Every structure is written in structure tokens, then in C-alpha cells.
Amino acid sequence: MGQSFGAHSTTDDVLAGLDLTGKRVLVTGVSAGLGTETARALVAHGAHVVGAARDLEKAEYATEAVRAAAARSGGSLSLIALDLASFKNIHAAADALVADGRPFDLIIANAGVMACPEGRTANGYETQFGTNHLGHFLFVNRIVPLMGPGARLVVLASSGHRFANVNLDDINFETSQYEPFIAYGRSKTANILFAVEFDRRHRDRGVRAVAVHPGGIQTELGRHLDRTFLEQMVNQMNAANAAAGRPPFSWKTIPQGAATTVWAGVRAHADDVGGTYCEDCHVAELADDAGLMGGVRAYATDPARARALWAKSEEIVGLSF
């Protein structure tokens, strides 16, 4: 794959020497954290970024550094409203983009929620599955006509997929007790499966998809986490790492967390990463060990499961793609 990058690489490391002038990129969730940094890094190399956010006022404030970087490089940033928890809002955003007609070289499905209290989206689906998976599933598929040969989709997943496989028979926890991290795990597994099946469906026309795990980063995504619980989780990971002879867990900076996203989106060769799950700027290997460190569960890349999720998702959104 050429130059080697790893867990400590930053967005600037990964993009060094690349000229993205003329490239058009859509990034969801640009109002904070990884989304803001991803947009900044891309416009700094000349890309034209369309940033999507539920709260445009917040996004305007959060992306001041992005616009400053764009002014220096010749890139640009524009913002659109997108609420991934509302099919009606998603259709409106997609309709506007399709009507505009300008193509995208890269779409980054970055937005999401994590371990939130039990709730439902505007359309009645469990918040995490509904926002993280269904929202992006509908939005991306609606704007697929804007992705031509050579375009890529990068879907933000997580090592949290290890918490749970998708349960297509109990999406809303109607027959099981709601657990925030089980729901998160299901949604993140769904993100990976979405990338796997999207890649299978579009690779023959030169459009590829990849899922990425950014690593452990302290951003607004963790707003619902209890500090004590978080410390216990880190202690458990460190115990597992010690038993396996691995180094202890360490938090990534936001530029390090966004590095795998831009690496998979513009630096890595499409054939090397298409249909895979990546972490620390490399393709992850299958892993069935305990804990959250390193590798991807086999169920998250299972082609049959990916097709089943796609069919269920089409049924839910009421469209066939």
C-alpha cells in the first residue's frame, strides 16, 4: 500500500504531499470532533467539502478553522442541514444534492451517537441503530447517482462492534432489555456490514466502500458515558492487553483519530481497502479474542449477513436500491 502509517499517524501525516484540488467530498457530522478535523484536513489540501450537520449554527461555529484552512489552500467548505434521525429530513437534503447534480469523489459517513439512553428516532426506530445505520443507509443510497467511477464511501464504525452483532428480529429491543452499549454495538456492526454490501454492489462500476475504526478518542460522542464506567472499561482493556502481551490502551488525539478516515478515503489504494474494516491506517485482521482491542469480528464482515441487513434496511426505509 505504499507509505506506512499507524496508530500515531495524524491527518496531516497521512495527507502530506497530496493535492486534492478539485476533489469534492461530503462529510456528515462536521459540527464537532472527528468530523470537523476530517473536513479541516481535506480542505487544507484543496478539497471542496460539503459538511452536513443537524445543528447548522453549531456547525458554523465549529468549522471556523476549516474555513480558515480553506482560505489558505484554495479549498472550500459549504454546510447543509441533515438530521439522520428523520427520514423526511434526509430526503430533503438528498433531493437538494441530487438536484444540484455536482458529483462527489468521496462520501464520509462520520456522524453518530453512542451509548445514549433508550429512545426512538422520528420514524420510531431505536436511536443508535436508526441514526448511525438507517440514517446513513438512506442518505448515502439516495445520493449514489452522484458517485461516479473512482468515488469512495468511508463509513465510521468502531471496535464497539464487538459488543454485539445486529439483531434483525429485534431492532427496537422489543423482546430484550435495552442496554446502551449493546445497542451501540449493533449499530456499529451494521455500519461495517453496510460498507461490505455497498462495496459488493458498486465495485464493478469502480465505486468502493470501506468501514473504519478511528480508535479511542475523547470527543462529544462520549457525552453519555459515566466517568466511572469509562475507567472500568479502560482497566478491563489494559488487563486483557497485559495478558496478551500488548501495550496498554492510550487515547488518541482527534487528528490521530481522523487519520484512518482520510487514509482509507484518499491515500490507500481502493482495491486494498474496498469491502474491508480498517484501523490504525491498515486493514484489520479477523479476531475473536475478548475485549475491544484490535481486529474485526467475523460476523461484522459476513457477506450473507450484510445482504440480509441491506434487505431489512430497504424494507424499513421503503425503497429498493
Provide the domain count of the chain. 1
pLDDT confidence of 248, banded at 50, 70, 90?
A: confident
Which pLDDT value is given to residue 29? Answer: 97
Contacts 24+ apart (CB under 8 A), 284-291: 284/213, 289/240, 289/244, 290/240, 291/162, 291/236, 291/237, 291/240, 291/241
Give 11-33 pLDDT, tens digit per residue.
Answer: 999 999 999 999 999 999 999 99
Q: Residue 152 falls within a domain, yes or no?
A: yes
Contact present, 314 and 320 (Cβ < 8 Å): yes
Q: Is residue 17 part of a domain?
A: yes
What pLDDT shows up at residue 246?
72
- Exposed/middle/buried for residue 149 (C-beta within 10 Å: 0-12, 13-18, 19+): exposed
Whether 5 maps to a domain, the answer reads no
Q: State residue 247's pLDDT score.
A: 74
Asked if 178 is an active-site residue, the reply is: no
Domain assignment present for residue 164? The answer is: yes
Q: What's the order of all strands across the beta sheet hosting 48-53?
A: 76-81, 48-53, 24-28, 104-109, 147-156, 208-213, 277-279, 282-283
CATH of the domain at 251: 3.40.50.720
Residue 319 within any structural domain of the chain? no
Q: What is the mean pLDDT of residues 228-237?
A: 69
How is 9-35 classified by DSSP, letter by letter? --HHHHHTT---TT-EEEEE-TTSHHH
| The predicted structure's pLDDT at residue 52 | 98
Is 1 inside a domain boundary?
A: no
215 contacts 280 by C-beta, under 8 angstroms:
yes
| Percent of residues, the chain, with pLDDT higher than 70 | 93
Residue 214 lies in a domain: yes
Per the listing, cell 441514526 goes with 131
Q: What is the mean pLDDT of residues 62-83?
A: 98
- β-bridge partners, 49: 25, 77
Gyration radius (Cα) of the chain, Å: 18
pLDDT band at 220 (very low <50, low <70, confident <90, very high): low
- Choose the catalytic residue: 125, 178, 184, 277: 184
Show the domain range for 172: 11-314
Greater confidence, 269 or 248? 269
Q: Is the pLDDT of residue 65 over 90?
A: yes
In a domain, 4, yes or no: no
Please report the pLDDT score of residue 291 as a whole number. 63
